[in-house]
Structure 1
Amino acid sequence: MIVSGVFGGGGINKIMRFVKLSIVCVVVALVAIASIKALANSPDTRNVSTPVTVLELFTSQGCSSCPAANKFVRELDGAPDLLTLSYSVDYWDYLGWKDTFGKPEFSEHQRTYGKQFGGKVYTPQMVINGEIHAARFTRKKVRTLKLDNIPDIRIKARDDGIDVQITPQSWLDKNWTVTAVRYRPGIQSVPVKRGENSGRTIKLANVVQACKEIGKIGGRESFSTQIKSLQPGEALVILVQDGKGGPILSAANFVP
């Protein structure tokens, strides 16, 4: 009687329809929430490229020979399949100007290459694919060496960090090093007030913020690790090299 009074005739059927509709609404809401969470936690593999040429420039704001090389690299930046990276070394700081981007780890990275090149370390020094070096290259020469990009590198950005996975190549015996390079894409300008470049504004492309070896691959094993998330404005390059400071075998560039 109460049901009939509230819902009129056929009150039970109306209640059942109401309950079913409520259940459907709840299910739809739960599915939507789950989808949003899955999207938020799913890896982001977009914006990952595989350059075939990697040019690393070792430079210094306190070196009077470097601005021309800096300009050359700036003009190359953005070319298809080419990645340029500018490392500021710190060993010229005693000349009167402390490089604002310089870090000991960048000088050490250059010295590691130097051991493969017969101990030659200087600025400006350009290294292409970890194989050849010079103070200056022609544009044609820069594109001469190309990476095979074996092994395959996967970079997946998540909310809690960045996954790095390197696909094993079972037929290869390996002695590889894996390096993570964080850099700031675009051009950075620094007015120099002392030293050899006093009064000049130094402009650098793709300034490296950090360079760290994150692992080794030996035998026939695969590689997987997670590194901390990027800071705003940063990008990430993963380099796989044949031994420490050896030729670059593969590279992956992630720009959020």
Structure 2
Amino acid sequence: MILKNLITVSAFTALLFATSAFIHQNEEQKSIQHSTDENHGFAVLELFTSEGCSSCPPADELMGKIEEEYKDQPVYLLSYHVDYWNRLGWKDRFSSAENSRRQQQYSPILNSQVYTPQLIVNGKKEFVGSDENSIRNAIREALFTDKKTNIELSAVISQKDITVSYKTSATDPKNILLINLVEKHASTQVGKGENEGRHLHHWQIVHQQNSISLNKQQEGTTKFKLPEGFSPERWEVIAFIQHVKTGQISGSAKTSFR
């Protein structure tokens, strides 16, 4: 009888301990989840790249990896193909002078040289675009520390263009809203230049960027010309708020098409 009672007490104690541990674990998980929800951090990654640059394919591939891994988190990726490599034998079909000028604008702000592949996080830190460890650390830090200004965004397709509606709570007159038409993935067989013979893949390619001053209005619409062969599932719109003097990005959002 004594042995039976001891077994019963022992079993009850084990059950009580297990229940207590389960409750504690649930409470800990709720606490972690609550912390994440309250954080509202974000990361905008801007990669400056070129099909004419032999150092760029690893950075482009890294963009694809990050896009897949962070697809359900507030990480926004933008690839700008610059045009200054075009004179060396291969014209990058995604490149533009506007993309090159955007990179040049960062140079005095970040006290950095203009080079490819260069990646900038939230407009305030720059890295070699293939430096995976540093970039991942910067993403984690941004998600934990950078508070996000709200942006409401939607996009509607017509026969000739795309109309994007926006609304934000940003009030600093030195802020601008940059709205980007982005192709999620494309590839090119390179025929000349440093990457001759290579089949290159690109992710989150910026095709058009509209700049809107937030000095007088915090809501409105802007339009993009509908790209040739446009397919809604292959494109998206990404917008972010940036301070014109410091370059710092204070909020971002994206939307698909309807």
Counterpart in 2 of 1:255?
256
Matches within 5 A, 1:91-110: 91-110=84-103
User: Percent same amino acid at aligned positions?
Assistant: 29
When residues 242 and 196 of structure 1 are mapped into structure 2, their CA distance, relative to the original with a 3 A threshold, is same
Alignment-derived partner of residue 168 in structure 1 = 169
Of 130-139 and 236-245, more deviation after overlay is shown by: 236-245
CA contact (8 A) 1:181 1:208 kept: yes
Residue matched to 1:36: none
Aligned length: 201
- After superposition, the C-alpha distances for 1:13-32 in whole angstroms (9 at most, x for unaligned) are xxxxxxxxxxxxxxxxxxxx
Please tell me whether residue 55 in structure 1 is matched to residue 45 in structure 2: yes
Matched, 1:226 2:234: no
The verdict on how the C-alpha distance between 1:179 and 1:51 changes in structure 2, with shifts beyond 3 A counting, is: farther
AA partner of residue 207 (structure 1): I
Determine the C-alpha separation between the residues in 1 that align with 2:109 and 2:81: 20
Aligned equivalent of 1:143, options 140, 144, 161? 140
User: Quick check: 2:56–2:117 contact (8 Å CA) kept in 1?
Assistant: yes
1:67 is matched with which residue?
Answer: 57
Instruction: Indicate the structure with greater helix content.
Output: 2
CA deviations 1:102-153 (Å, max 9, x no partner) are 1111111111222311252110000111110010241233322134221x21
Structure 1-normalised TM-score? 0.71
Q: Say which of 102, 109, 117 aligns to 1:124.
A: 117
Distance 1:130 1:154 in 2: 21
**Partner Cα distance (2:253, 2:226) in 1:** 15
- Per the alignment, residue 179 of structure 1 pairs with 178
Root mean square deviation, CA, Å: 2.3
TM-score, normalised by the number of residues in structure 2: 0.70
**Aligned in 2, Cα 1:114/1:212: closer, same or farther, shift over 3 Å?**
farther
The question of 1:191 aligning with 2:223 is answered no
1:183–1:207 CA contact under 8 A, matched in 2:
yes
Gapped runs of 5+ residues in structure 2? 1-39
Q: Computing the radius of gyration over CA atoms, which structure comes out larger, 1 or 2?
A: 1
Q: Matched residue of 1:120: which SS? A: coil
Q: Does 1:86 align with 2:79?
A: yes
**Structure 1 unmatched runs, 5+:** 1-49
Q: 1:157-179, CA deviations, whole angstroms, 9 ceiling, x for partnerless residues?
A: 3466534333335xx54310111
